[in-house]
Amino acid sequence: MVPEEGHPGLERPWIEYLVPAAELEETVGDRPLAGVMAAEALRIAAWRPRLGAETDDKTIPHELDLLRTAVHLAKGCYKGQETIARVHNLGHPPRRLVFLQLDGSQHTMPAPGSQVMLGERKVGTVTSVAQHYEMGPVALAVIKRSVAADEILTVLDGEEPYIAAQEVIVAPDAGQVVGRPTGFLRGTH
């Protein structure tokens, strides 16, 4: 699926080629190349989750913005379809992916796995971190759905705090497209 208008991944089509080293020059030609660290920064800036980084054994597609970019709700049967439909129609995902603009005043960056704090309370975990060529230090994190979208967060790597402004990828009110039934008739038989 193609990301919708306004999604930063729209401007960054991702193509990865695995080429034997002996054939690299012949295969690449004059195409620009990027190293792994540059590619990782571009992936983070495009809000693209990576299997094994942004995912764990509890992850559902709603948490990672995959309903907008990768999961088709009107196509055939697949494993997990009931869970996806239930959360999409009746509930909210318990966590949500956010893009973090990290304070660049330090000479270091937090490590993946660092805690995301709201005051003294842990509300999530940093999943990917990179130095972007224009934006500076950026990260993806999975946080609790209940964290307001305008909250300034702190990433805590050991004892080192990093102030982080969040950009909403998955809205706190995501899901529940149908709504809960209300106004049942009472007393009529």
Q: Check: CB of residue 165 under 8 Å from CB of residue 152.
A: yes
> Between these two residues, 20 and 35, which has the higher pLDDT value?
20
pLDDT given for residue 1 in this prediction: 47
CA–CA separation, 114 and 111 (whole Å): 6
The SS3 of residue 62 is helix
150-180 pLDDT per residue, tens: 999 999 999 999 999 999 998 888 766 555 5
| 36 CB burial (10 A radius; 0-12, 13-18, 19+) | exposed
pLDDT of residue 171: 83
Neighbouring residues of 168: CB distance < 8 A, sequence distance ≥ 6: 98, 149
Share of the chain above pLDDT 70, in %: 87
Query: According to the model, what pLDDT value does residue 180 have?
Result: 52
Q: What is the DSSP string of 9-53?
A: GGG---------GGGHHHHHTT-----HHHHHHHHHHTT---TTT
In this structure, the dihedral spanned by the alpha carbons of residues 76, 14, 140 and 87, taken in order and rounded to 10 degrees, is: -10
Whether residue 107 is predicted with pLDDT greater than 80 in this model: the reply is: yes
Percent of the chain with pLDDT over 90: 50
Report the Cα 83 to chain-centroid distance in Å.
19
Average the pLDDT over 131-146 and give the result: 96
Contact 104, 186 (CB under 8 A): no
Nearest to 166 by CA among 67, 96, 70: 96
How far is Cα 160 from Cα 8, in angstroms, rounded to an integer? 30
Tokens of 115: 């805690």
User: Can you give the residue ranges of every domain in the chain?
Assistant: 1-172
Taking the CB of residue 45, how many other CB atoms lie within 10 A of it? Answer: 20
Q: For the domain 1-172, what is the CATH superfamily, name and number?
A: Probable tRNA modification gtpase trme; domain 1 (3.30.1360.120)
H or E segment to which residue 116 belongs: strand 115-118
Terminal Cα-to-Cα distance of the chain (whole angstroms):
49
For the segment 85-94, the average pLDDT, to the nearest whole number, is 78
Q: Among 25-34, 149-158, 177-186, which stretch is predicted with the lowest mean pLDDT? A: 177-186
Decide if pLDDT at 18 tops 60. yes
Supply the pTM of this predicted model: 0.81
